[in-house]
Amino acid sequence: MLYICIPTHDEAPTVGVLLWRIRQVFQEYAREYEILVYDDASTDGTREVLEPYAKALPLTVLGSAQRVGYARALEALLQEAARRTTYPRRDAVILMQADFTDQPEAIPELVKRFEGGADLVVAERALPADAPVSIQKLHQYVSWIPRLWPLRAAVSVPGVKDPWGTMRLIRIATVRDVLKSTARGATSPAASPWQANLELLCAAAPHARRLETVSVTPRFDVRPRASRRDAWPDAWALAKAAWTARGRRVRLPAAIPASRAPQTPTA
């Protein structure tokens, strides 16, 4: 089973398009799947947009009337997938954004790596020319953080060039290991989306027997709203979070080579 986990807040114009495209992908790429959406107190009719899709898709909508933020929404989705699974070694979660930036067409490649034995598959973004200026600047600013040696250990995961992205596949056995090993949760409750994505990756990587990456191109031409990222404040917040966690080094299991390890059958 694949659990497609989507945190959302005020994404009524795009979340329906995303769900329908996911449906089309799985019509062509037959796998068992469920979609879990966390509606984080949307006020633009996102919940109403989601309702009819539950009749045509294996969709469950979580959430509450009180805003909890991206990090807690992400945590709730991981906990729900871990609770639902019957076969944690054979099942996985796939994390995506609700604004159609993450492309469902990338799902088969992530699953291919998972079925080849990877416990953690990271989609690394190659920004298109039409990416919002704020996103381009943020990428530029945060690219300098790993170059500062006091912060390098806190923002670097061996084999991963882009630790900030949203789209990842994680084997649910690995998700359960993360949830058990971090009493405070996989992410800081008040973390920004980029910080939460980084923290989750850093928490999951040590539990993964094998980590792989795939290249993806995000899409910005469907999303009607402006970017919610503010380049300099967001980069500064990431740098401060890295400074706080600078003593924490991500270590992969010694028996596992780099992310391009030879493929072995899934147990």
Average pLDDT over residues 98-111: 94
For residues 19-54, one letter each, b for 16 or more C-beta atoms within 10 angstroms of the residue's C-beta and e for the rest, the string is: bebbbebbeeeeeebbbbbbbbbbeeebbebbeebe
Choose among 246, 188, 228: nearest CA to 97: 228
pTM score, whole prediction: 0.82
Percent of residues, the chain, with pLDDT higher than 90: 54
Residue 57 pLDDT? 95
Residue 194 pLDDT? 76
- Angle CA 78–35–117, to nearest 5: 65
Pick the CATH number of 2-131+159-226 from 3.90.550.10, 2.30.31.20, 3.40.30.10, 3.40.1130.10: 3.90.550.10
pLDDT digits (tens, 9 = 90+) for 87-97: 999 999 999 99
Residue 62 pLDDT? 96
Instruction: Give the residue with greater pLDDT, 156 vs 127.
Output: 127
Give the helix/strand (H/E) hosting 90: none
* Domain limits, the chain: 2-131+159-226
The values of phi and psi at residue 156, to 5°, are -115, 135
